[in-house]
Copies of this chain bind each other. A is one copy, B any other.
Amino acid sequence: MPRLDASARGVFIIAATPFTEDGRLDLAATDRLIEFYLEQGVDGMTILGMMGEAPKLTEEEARTFALHVLGRVDARVPVVVGVSAPGFASMRALGSVVMDAGAAGLMVQPPAVSARGDDAVLGYCRMVAETLGEATPWVLQDFPLVASVPMSALLIQRIVAACPNAVMLKHEDWPGLDKLSAVRDAEAEGARRISILTGNGGIFLPFELARGADGAMTGFAYPEMLVEVCRLFARGESEAMLDLFDRYLPLVRYEQQPGLGLAVRKYVLWRRGALACPATRDPAPKLTEASRAELDWLMRRLERSLEHQRKESVA
């Protein structure tokens, strides 16, 4: 499998980690989920991200899951593996196993406890770059809402300059549009170009593309929307892009609830037949009856809206 590089673009779906009702890893359900994602046309896959409930797996489970996914995907698309960990020993161990098994690259979010202030974040990233090894491309995750590590455009530039194997930014700052522009502006003035895929459920995706993002790396439960938005943007059809995006926005917004969002995603994926079971592992907030009813309502409204659109485009 070719390794990730700065030319990566499109939709790298953040894959859910399927569990059985009683909380065990469900590898059979994983196969079905992978095929679902591929059928929606994703360009890549990212596993063991926060949405993948990575921190709740034992290291053995993480390894088992990653190797299973790599085997099933079988190089049809590149697979990025999240290896964020409190210590480098775990990061190195998981990273080397999955790279040997064909992963395209790794992903790391610097943790607040080890990275307080720009210099400390930079120092941490240097150690990540060295720990993973110069031949291993990695994605710098920038998710301050959860990680509490602010990174300015200037800091990102410094990291990119110091770490030749950092080839992609998973951009999910909020607000983040002007920062994205600032990273691209710096590249226009000579900084090394990296791929930028954006997160946050895609809630700003159309604007992020216009600001210079190369696509999305997020786990919204309707990956086909993310894919189509990227295609429409590439074709220059901005109004059609927003027309499509806005139909899904009520669900994107509902999914974009810190902590609860993962249960929302899994529920929708389950309702869509992509997951055998919507269970999340404890500790995790659960969907109440009321939330499920709201989601059912939003899904019905989306279907109606898409139906309406189909009829209009036929007529």
List the interface of chain A (C-beta within 8 A of B). 23, 53, 55-61, 86-90, 93, 113-120, 123-124, 127, 144, 146, 150-155, 174-175, 177-178, 181, 203-204, 207, 210-211, 239, 242, 246, 249-250, 253, 257-260, 281-285, 288, 290-291, 294, 301
Contact = CB atoms under 8 A, between A and B. Distances in A.
20 contacts: A55-B87, A56-B87, A57-B87, A58-B87, A88-B281, A88-B282, A89-B281, A117-B118, A117-B155, A118-B154, A119-B153, A124-B283, A127-B282, A127-B283, A174-B257, A175-B257, A175-B260, A178-B288, A178-B291, A253-B253
Contacts of A57: 87, 89-90
A151 B117 contact: yes
A253 B242 contact: no
A224 B48 CA distance: 44
Contact of A283 (B59, B114, B155): B114
Nearest to A243: B301
Contacts of A88: 56, 281-283
A23 B174 CA distance: 27
A177 B115 CA distance: 18
B242 A246 contact: no
B281 A87 contact: yes
Q: Which of A55, A117, A207 has the most CB of B within 10 A?
A: A117
Contacts of A301: 239, 242
A42 B210 CA distance: 36
A290 B87 contact: no
Question: 9 nearest interchain CB pairs?
Answer: A56-B87, A55-B86, A117-B150, A175-B257, A119-B152, A118-B118, A114-B283, A175-B260, A116-B150
A61 B93 CA distance: 12
A89 B55 CA distance: 10
Contacts of A127: 282-283
A150 B239 CA distance: 40
Given A56-B89, A178-B290, A242-B250, 4 more contacts: A89-B281, A116-B150, A178-B288, A246-B249
